[in-house]
Amino acid sequence: MQRSALSSRTVPAPAVRDIVELLKPITWFPPMWAFLCGVVSSGAAFTGNWLLIIAGIMLAGPLVCGTSQAVNDWFDRHVDAINEPGRPIPSGRVAGRWGLYVAIIGTLLAMLLAAALGPWVLVAAIAGLALAWAYSAPPFRLKSSGWIGPLVVGLTYEGLSWLTGATVMLGGLPSGSIIAVLVLYSVGAHGIMTLNDFKAVEGDTQTGLKSLPVTLGVIGAARLACAVMAASQVAVIALLANWGLTLSAVIVTVLLAIQFALMPRLLRDPAKFAPWYNATGVTLYVLGMLAAALGLGGHI
């Protein structure tokens, strides 16, 4: 036992580049974008608030989202050994328990920054971090459900980040209309998360992870993803039109129409075209988020 403990203490610290890779910077964009949508939807002026905005972007991206990636990689290290053996933990570049340490340190730093930004921001950050741990870690391991897992990610990446952006600017909770739109876009993000699961079908099948591409089949999961993304946007369009935000409603409608034109190619071979649709259809989806935010904030 003593030899084992000594061995674990002598595991060298990982290189900075490997820690950065563990935190997956490419995944930071969705929550940072949603945070900025929250900022825009608040209607508050950017002038004089740049420090708050930059701090909020750091919180939403590198800290909360980056920490969630470290948590996920630590508890998914056996799955990644099948799907992505070159990842930092299964490859041994982040050895021992360093992956867990990075996740814990990131959690603490995120809560410290959130506390400095205000009580409601802290509440949102704690909720997001708690869901990040529950998503990957036993006994909850919410990602084991193809229905609950993507919903949790959508709510944290899009909803809580948007809520944080608006709260930072307003100093309190935003209006009911802002909350309604961010919830709808969060629910629609369930489809985006489902599309991301196509790359891990083999590992999920071998390890018993019941993602929707595994349980519904690739075609069934792709159809559901498209339907969920479209339905949420239709509801947003209806709300924007009802509130008299006509230009925003028209922009979101045009963006959704282009998505409908792209969906048939995705559905022909979802496993092959999911990355392509993420670069095209999902981009149009998030542009619609900004259009809605601009309308809510009185910018258009």
Give percent above pLDDT 70 in the chain.
97
Across the chain, mean pLDDT equals 94
Winning range, highest mean pLDDT, from 1-10, 73-82, 205-214, 241-250:
241-250
Is pTM beyond 0.85 here? yes
What is the SS3 assignment for 52? Answer: helix
Give per-residue pLDDT as tens, 115-127.
999 999 999 999 9
pLDDT at 24 over 70: yes
What's the pLDDT at 9?
57
Q: Is 200 or 14 the better-scoring residue by pLDDT?
A: 14
What's the pLDDT at 3?
44
Rounded to the nearest 10°, the torsion over CA 159, 232, 273, 217 is 100
What's the pLDDT at 4?
40
Nearest-angstrom CA–CA distance, 103 and 221: 31
What's the pLDDT at 89?
97
Which helix (DSSP H) or strand (DSSP E) does residue 256 occupy?
helix 246-268
Give percent above pLDDT 90 in the chain.
87
Task: Quote the tokens at residue 119.
Answer: 């009580």
Give per-residue pLDDT as tens, 84-129.
899 999 999 999 999 999 999 999 999 999 999 999 999 999 999 9
Give per-residue pLDDT as tens, 35-64.
999 999 999 999 999 999 999 999 999 999
Nearest-angstrom CA–CA distance, 8 and 109: 24
